Amino acid sequence: MINANPFSVLAETISPLAMQGFIIAMIILIAAGTIIQMISHKNLIYFFNNAKKAKLNAKKELGVGEKASIVAKTTVYDIGTTSELGFGKRRLAHVLGMYGTILFWVSSVVLIFSYTGVNSPSADIWSILWHGGAILTCIGGYWFWFFLRVDVSAEAHPWYRIIKADLFVLALLACSTFGLLWSYTQFNGQMVLSYLFLTLFILSNLILFGGVYWSKFAHMFYKPGAAIQKNLAEADGSRDNLPPPADAPEQFGLGIKREEPKHY
């Protein structure tokens, strides 16, 4: 099953152009939802104003090479490994979910645009990446949802408590889960279940990409920008108008050793 292209079989009943049109529509929904959220929440204005303040308070002027180096390092380390979460289970779950989702989305686009239709070539590698990405997303996402959420761990809320901020992770998990179930039932010839899971897969994608305005989806674009701006501010001395670190050593007292840090 893992090296079978479910979109190639689907192309026997649904036109590849329709599938490609669906992908394009989802991209438009992402762009529209993000732009509308930026305008209504004034996120872009905040970033621009913050950048202006940082420039006025800068202690040194960074050259193009220094800025490029900071951006590259931030992208590879801070963003690519979610270093702000520190070492531990929470960071590992985020990395699994992040790279699994990237693989799942990229391979979906490649499979639909390049490996569907009549006389389409074999797509074993991309099919494996599609299934592998969905599995990694499920591992990281369900691990986070059931065991690592901050509000559940620290505030004793039940795991099934759902708020608006959970829309992104739940829709993402639904997409990956229903996608895998659709592929499995299609491969085994269970056509009734296959069409059921395909319908749920499509609906979960509509919720995920159509709900960008209400979910944390757009944070994937904000957080990299905020991380880059923070590191640039530290390098030029502006520090986002914050005081420099104290020279005195951190003093927490013996109480901090009573419990292993795990909540935040």
Number of domains making up the chain: 1
Domain containing 137 equals 6-238
**Band (129; pLDDT cuts 50, 70, 90):** very high
Task: Note whether residue 27 is domain-resident.
Answer: yes
Measured CA to CA, the distance from residue 79 to residue 224 in angstroms comes to: 6
Rounded to two decimals, the pTM is 0.78
Tens of pLDDT, residue by residue over 41-68, are 777 677 777 777 777 777 777 777 887 8
Task: Note whether residue 185 is domain-resident.
Answer: yes
Task: Note whether residue 71 is domain-resident.
Answer: yes
| Burial label, 224 (beta-carbon count in 10 A; 0-12, 13-18, 19+) | middle
Angle, CA 149 vertex, CA 175 and CA 255 arms, to 5° = 165
Measured CA to CA, the distance from residue 54 to residue 60 in angstroms comes to: 11
Task: Note whether residue 256 is domain-resident.
Answer: no
Is residue 256 predicted with pLDDT exceeding 60? no
Task: Note whether residue 75 is domain-resident.
Answer: yes
Of 81 and 72, which is predicted with more confidence? Answer: 72
